[in-house]
Amino acid sequence: MFSDAEGSWQTSLGLFAMAETCTGQDGYSLRMDGLEPGFNGRARERLIVMHGADRADPAQARRQRRLGRS
């Protein structure tokens, strides 16, 4: 499932532009701005970021069919 709704915990589809860096809950991160209104135009306000994750485990990804919360 995909969504651009606040609180959905779902990934937004579409094209993104990488913006400034920040330090958040998961450390050094890169903010993402959605470039397609209706699909990902609320990425900034939803605080969508890209970050590394030491907890990323290939076996867990296969079991869950995804990594992370979205």
In the chain, how many domains are there?
Answer: 1
Q: In a structure prediction context, what are the per-residue pLDDT tens digits for the chain, which is 70 residues long?
A: 889 999 998 889 999 999 999 998 889 999 999 999 999 999 999 999 998 877 778 887 788 777 766 5
Token pair in block for residue 24: 């958040």
How far is 50 from 67, CA to CA, in rounded Å? 12
Domain with 43, as residue range(s), is 16-64
Note whether residue 37 is domain-resident. Answer: yes
Note whether residue 6 is domain-resident. Answer: no
Contact present, 4 and 24 (Cβ < 8 Å):
no
Q: Is 38 helix (H, G, I), strand (E, B) or coil?
A: coil
pLDDT of residue 70: 52
Note whether residue 21 is domain-resident. Answer: yes
Note whether residue 42 is domain-resident. Answer: yes
Note whether residue 58 is domain-resident. Answer: yes
pLDDT of residue 68: 67
